[in-house]
Structure 1
Amino acid sequence: MVEIVRIPALSDNYIWLMHDPVSGETAVIDPAVAEPVLAEADVRGWRIGQIWNTHWHPDHTGGNAAIKAATGCTITGPAAEADRIPTLDRLVREGDTVRLGTVEAAVLEMPAHTAGHIAYHLAKEQLIFVGDILFAMGCGRLFEGNAEQMHANMQRLAQLAPDTQVYCAHEYTLGNARFAVAVDPDNQALRTRASAVEAARQRGEETVPTTIALERATNPFMRASSAQALAELRRAKDNFRG
């Protein structure tokens, strides 16, 4: 099994460091900044050989250049956003695969948050790096795409194995939980989860990764019956102050 390390950055970002113990290879997923990533890898004796980007936003690519300068790593990211990520070495699209030693990930195109957003699905390991598409009890804002695209993304992700671990890039869970309860107050599984999240955050604990099963049961965006319903939820969330 791969080893995955969570690295908090900025105000609420998570950078993921993934290590394949069989080959000894290490990748960084969505490095917002470089310094804590390089420090964590050094402490563990891991040599960073790759960066995987899910989309172009600076809080996901800001560490690319410095990590590449320090390690000589190869940077992979969405072909559709190549003009906005100048550090890319390899451009990938739907159907492509990326490898980290003995580990293989399928590239899934998931536009909506940005026009060329992708995810990396490691089916054998039952995990997925989703960037800013899916959050615990939430989804990304529709900056460059639309509700139809996001609804299709949610339905596609819902079809993954229930035990799939979902590695998103932000600690948004508490705010998402409060909104979810406001729009789905009769969902007992959601209310139970929201209470657990409140307690965890009070203790200073992180709440991701999540799982596909948890999101299917408690995420209003994944449970939305149509693109129109998701659009209404997204507008409501954008204005929610709970």
Structure 2
Amino acid sequence: MNVHRLPVLSDNYIFLLHDPASSTAAVVDPAQAEPVLQQVRILDARLVAIFNTHHHGDHVGGNLELLRAFPEATVYGSELDRGRIPGQQVFLNEGDRVSFAKETAEVLFVPGHTRAHIAYYFAGTGDLFCGDTLFAGGCGRLFEGTPAQMLDSLSKLRRLPEATRIWCAHEYTLNNLKFALTVDPHNAELQTRFAQVQQARQQQQPTVPSQIGVERRTNPFLRWDQPALQQSAGLSDPIRVFARVRDMKDQF
């Protein structure tokens, strides 16, 4: 299973999964249809699945046009997003499994950014498609969920193997790490990562995917139980620490 990263809009990524053996493709969170259709044509593939993580327009905007081009494709999304994802045909819950290219993904229920958000974890390849729950250096805003829900969701992702690749849906890394340094300023690995990301973005290079291990050590939203973050928040309770740091980021 090959992953093609397609930059769209101002900072979104669409991920096209390709199976050369069967000449099939699947797409994760198609904000727009045309970049997907172009890549599918280049690969001479047939689109068979649309995997949505949540209902926001910059994740589902291309669904219906893709279905018109490939009416046999199946649209997947959360059970709790019923009626909110265009063309949705399969309604998923925690622990369900979906397949593509002889690989199987476990569905993880990760609310917080929205009440229905899910992620797709391909354990066999070590790929996590997490939408707007976890970002490189950050996490999603709490639009429909609570701090406790998001903390539980991030705890679930934090437990995945260190080498897990994080295919998050936005190129927010540089700004996320600028903020991270304000709440975790003595983190040497974070300082090094910031310099590397700064250089990458100056050269217009992507910073996605990241890895779970890197995020555990440098992402403040996975470090609510570390003394440095507790000190910055002036709190010790994990949920209150997370909520305080999230509020600080919202004001950053």
Match of 1:208, SS? Answer: coil
Alignment of 1:189-208 (within 5 A): 189-208=189-208
Equivalent position amino acid for 2:131 in 1: G
Alignment identity in percent? 46
TM-score, normalised to structure 1's length? Answer: 0.97
Aligned to 2:166: 166
Deviation at 1:227, TM superposition (A): 1.3
- The counterpart of 1:230, out of the listed 225, 230, 242, is 242
More divergent stretch after superposition (95-104 vs 8-17): 95-104
Aligned to 1:47: 46
Q: Given the alignment of the two structures, is residue 128 of structure 1 paired with residue 140 of structure 2, yes or no?
A: no
Match of 1:221, SS? Answer: helix
Aligned to 1:19: 18
Per-residue CA shift, 1:75-114, capped at 9, x if unaligned? 1111101121131011111111001130110100000000
How many aligned residue pairs are there? 239
More divergent stretch after superposition (151-160 vs 202-211): 151-160
> For structure 1, which runs of at least 5 residues remain unmatched after alignment?
none
Aligned to 1:30: 29
Q: Given the alignment of the two structures, is residue 5 of structure 1 paired with residue 17 of structure 2, yes or no?
A: no
Deviation at 1:22, TM superposition (A): 3.5
CA distance in 1, matches of 2:86, 2:151: 30
Question: Are the equivalent residues in 1 in contact too, given 2:168–2:208 (CA < 8 A)?
Answer: yes
Aligned to 2:60: 61
CA distance in 2, matches of 1:23, 1:94: 28
Match of 1:106, SS? Answer: strand
TM-score, normalised to structure 2's length? Answer: 0.93
CA distance in 2, matches of 1:224, 1:120: 24
Question: Are the equivalent residues in 2 in contact too, given 1:190–1:218 (CA < 8 A)?
Answer: yes
> For structure 2, which runs of at least 5 residues remain unmatched after alignment?
226-237
Question: Are the equivalent residues in 2 in contact too, given 1:167–1:208 (CA < 8 A)?
Answer: yes
Q: What is the CA RMSD across the aligned residues, in angstroms?
A: 0.8
